[in-house]
Structures are given as structure tokens and as C-alpha cells.
Amino acid sequence: MRKLLIALALVALLIPSAAGAARKDTTLNVVGYSVPTSVYPKLFAAYQATPQGQGVKFTSSFAASEVQSKAVAAGLPADVVNFSLAPDMERLVQAGLVAPTWDKNQYKGIVSRSVVVFILRDGNPKHIRTWDDLVKPGVQVVFPNPFASGGARWDIAAAYGAELREKKTPAQAQAYLKELFQNNVSQDTSARNALNTFLSGKGDVLLDYESDAKLAQSQGKPVFYLIPKATIQIETPLAAVKGNNSDAAQQFVNWLYTPTAQTIWAQNGFRSVVPSVEKEFSGGKHPQFPFPPDLFTINYLGGWDKVNTQFFDPTNGIVAKIEQGLGVSTGG
């Protein structure tokens, strides 16, 4: 009996060591859309300073949301995915790589928010203030290709929804989109590439995430941004991918919703999904994240399933037909 107790005690001592060794051998591959490229290294470092993150290593890849989603579905190694749009996550659910319950937590699987804004050049030489200003003759508008970039789809949804909020009919809102695309001078493959194009001097206004605007300002770029009266709330989904590292990946995913992690998101230009952190950054006389008077969500337009079919079907969608008329690829 005494020998058995000693043996059990030795096993008990060895189990934590084995778990610790496994944790130190863990490398999590994070695959995301282009915009949070600069915030994730800070999140990685903060997580590695926690007990559960000790010894965990990270690799990361950031590009256009749909491109990344399709790449993971085709075999790109990933343990954690953070996309611009819920449909890009659902693609991985259909592929059996992400659990269908990914959006069933209290935050509905959304790790951060933003809003679509106008990024403008200092001095605002074209006097751009409203959505109507974007379709005036001579105004050059920059936004990514909506058949590659999730950010571009948010931009288009914001523009169309803003017209409806101004009591325009669907036909009038569609006509507005056609004028908007006619004023477009660059359709990059991702929101981050579109930002770089704008910062290089092309265009008068960039439709983009508020977080990108804050990033450009923090880097001392000669730009500022306006939040239009009516705009859409951007919601970016997060999930762990099934596989050998799924437990460690889920731990990291859970940590990204903690006040510590959400504060890092907010400090880097993203709107928090945690009420206490959101209140800290959105309250007071000079809120870092003011709420526009007429903020709406994708549900106002019927949800992403409807919007993707109606606007972004590569053959018959409203935007596809506009793009085809302008000679722009809708192949993604």
C-alpha cells in the first residue's frame, strides 16, 4: 500500500509538469482580416504574460477577410480566426473547421466593433461632410474591392443603409451606389491596402474602419476623420478552429473577451464589446468613441445572408452588375 501511495504521489507531481511542457510547446496560428494587423502583437504579448499564456507562441497572417477564410477552408493552418464578416466564419462552419456554436457566447462571437467613417485629408479641400458629398462631380473616393474585402462590404452596406435612413427608396439608394462607384478611383484587395493607397496621395476621401483612421492619426499622417450622421456598426467575428490545439486556442479566444484584452482593443482604435470597457472609452465630455446619431446594424438591411445575395452575388448581385458595367472583376 505504501509503495502504491508513493507511486500515485509521483504521478500527481508529474501531471502538472507534463501539462506545462505541452503548453510550452504550443504554437497558435492566428489568421485574420487585414485591419487588426497592428493590435494582435500587443494582444499576444499581454496573453503571454498571463499564467495560461506562459510559453505559448504565436504565428499570424493578415489579409482580406474573404481571401483568408477561403485559404483556411483550403488548408491554411489556423487555430484562431478573426474575420471581418460573419459569412466568412460560416464558410469554415460548413467546412467542419469551426463549431456551429461559435456565435453562442454572450457576445455572439463578436470580439470587437467599429463604424464606417470618412477619412479625409487635412483641411478637407473638397469640403466633404455627408454621404451626398461623395457623389459630387470631381470627388475621388477610395474603398476596397467588395469581392475581396469584407471592409468594402461594410462600406457599401453603410452607404446604402444611410440612404434608406434618409427616406430614400431602395431604387434611389441603388442609384446612389452606382454614382458612388463611378467616383471610385481605387479598389484595393483589402482595407489596409486601401488605407495605404489613400495615404500615398490618391483620392479625396477613404471609406474605412474607424480603427484605421485612428491608426493613421497615431502615426502622424496628415488626415482626420468624420463619422457620418448615419453609418453602420461593424462587428468582427472570432472563433477557435478545430484541431490539435483547439483547447489552447479556445483559452486564447476566451481571454480576448476579458477587460484586459478589451482595453487593449480600445486603446488601439477598436470599440469594445464589454460594457464596462465600452463605457470607459465612450463616456465623458470627450469620448474616444462617440456614437453617431443614426447608428444601425446589418440587421437593418436584413442580415448578411440577404445582403450577400442581394448585393454581392458575383453574377446577379446589385454591386456585381455595377462593377461589371465599370469593367471591374467580381471574381474575388
Residues of the chain scoring pLDDT < 50: 1-22
Contact 222, 114 (CB under 8 A): no
Distance CA 305, CA 266 (A): 29
Domain boundaries, the chain: 23-112+235-282, 114-233+289-326
Cβ neighbours for 303, distance < 8 A, ≥ 6 positions apart: none
pLDDT at 100: 98
Q: Out of 3.40.1190.20, 3.40.630.10, 3.40.190.10, 3.40.1370.10, which CATH number does the structure's domain 114-233+289-326 have?
A: 3.40.190.10
pLDDT tens-digit profile of 66-108?
A: 999 999 999 999 999 999 999 999 999 999 999 999 999 999 9
pLDDT at 83: 98
Separation of CA 27 from chain center: 23
Which helix (H) or strand (E) is 236 found in, with range?
A: strand 230-240
Distance CA 174, CA 303 (A): 17
pLDDT at 23: 52
Which CATH superfamily hosts domain 23-112+235-282? Answer: Periplasmic binding protein-like II (3.40.190.10)
Contact 52, 251 (CB under 8 A): yes
Distance CA 240, CA 254 (A): 9
pTM over 0.75: yes
**For residue 322, what is its C-alpha cell?**
455595377
The yes-or-no answer to whether 23-112+235-282 and 114-233+289-326 have a common fold is yes
pLDDT tens-digit profile of 156-177?
A: 999 999 999 999 999 999 999 9
